[in-house]
Structure 1
Amino acid sequence: MATKLNSMRLLERRHISYQVYTYSYNPEDPPDAVEVARRIEQQPHTVFKTLVVTAGGTSRPLLIMLAADRQLDMKRAATGCGQKRLELMPRNETERLTGLKVGGIGALALSAKRWPCYVDRGAEGLEEIFVNAGQRGIMLGLAVGDLRQVLNAAWIDAAN
């Protein structure tokens, strides 16, 4: 990789160690998170996708990180975030607000936006977690505790 991404710079500023994992993909048909896990040779329950949700049209976005092999349970996630209701942000709106392409959205890359961030409790027992670096084709592996600390992320039950 020729240049560092903002997510990597953030981790380096905080003296947090990480590993870079890359994978190839077709830009017309990027892989889902389970396929990304396979391509970087990791278990799907350790590879976390970042979903962008809102608690209504007027609220700022929330980031929910969820294992590749799990599905978001909107009611459970809303309760965990202290909201009455959550909505998954539409793809075009997500890409416009984040400046990132779906399939390349990573909470570390969005940390400057200071959006509230939540991690599904499925990561609680893991030592290492794999998350998107903010660009399709690039994942980062780091300690779960380090990820939560740098993002000021709270645990929630978000999966069904």
Structure 2
Amino acid sequence: MKKTNAARFLDTKKVNYELVEYLVDEADLSAVHVAETIDQNVEQVFKTLVLRGNANGIFVAIVPGNAEVNLKKAAKVSGNKNAVMVQMKELLPLTGYIRGACSPLGMKKSYPMFIHESCLNFETIFVSAGKRGLQIKIDPQDLIACANIRVCDLVNV
């Protein structure tokens, strides 16, 4: 298994994590499918979403796999009046990652990051390792600390 930028980032920070491989279904790249494939609770499998705010530009929202980001909440916590998801064609140039493999770790540039507060309900959560078919299992506190992520409410109730 080849190390990804996300895994190398964690190695440089000396953070404990585990790489978890799974079989990719190109027709279903959803976090719900990933959770089912790795036999985990979908609330513990977090998806990384890249957004653009009207005032502060690009930022990242990390939300549970079964949730939808609330754009108004995301805009507010990031210091914007409104926010939209970036277009899929922008994902690779902005982050270095493709859809279905966007990790909050090891992006091309450092963007403000926000994670939904439910991550603190678990000993470990899963985020993309930066490659389809590979997840990082990590203590949410370690993830928050090593990547300077702000914990807040980001999803629709």
Q: 1:49 aligns with which of 42, 47, 58?
A: 47
CA RMSD of aligned residues (A): 1.4
Where does residue 77 of structure 1 map in the other structure? 74
Where does residue 24 of structure 1 map in the other structure? 23
Correspondence 1:138 to 2:134: yes
Name structure 2 gaps, 5 residues minimum. Answer: none
Residue 64 of structure 1, CA deviation: 0.5
Correspondence 1:105 to 2:102: yes
Where does residue 88 of structure 2 map in the other structure? 91
**Contact map agreement 2:59 2:111 (CA 8 A) in 1:** yes
- State how far apart, in whole Å, the 1-side matches of 2:57 and 2:76 are: 17
Query: What letter matches 1:147 in structure 2?
Result: L
Where does residue 10 of structure 1 map in the other structure? 9
**Contact map agreement 1:109 1:133 (CA 8 A) in 2:** no
Q: 2:155 aligns with which of 149, 153, 159?
A: 159
Where does residue 40 of structure 1 map in the other structure? 38
Length-normalised TM-score, structure 1? 0.91
Residue 96 of structure 1, CA deviation: 2.7
Length-normalised TM-score, structure 2? 0.93
Name structure 1 gaps, 5 residues minimum. Answer: none
- Taking every aligned residue pair, what percent have the same amino acid on both sides? 29
Query: Following TM superposition, where does structure 1 have runs of at least 4 consecutive aligned residues deviating by more than 2 angstroms?
Result: none
- State how far apart, in whole Å, the 1-side matches of 2:76 and 2:18 are: 33
Residue 59 of structure 1, CA deviation: 4.2
- State how far apart, in whole Å, the 1-side matches of 2:118 and 2:36 are: 19
Change (3 A) 1:43 1:96: same
- State how far apart, in whole Å, the 2-side matches of 1:14 and 1:116 are: 18
**Contact map agreement 2:100 2:132 (CA 8 A) in 1:** yes
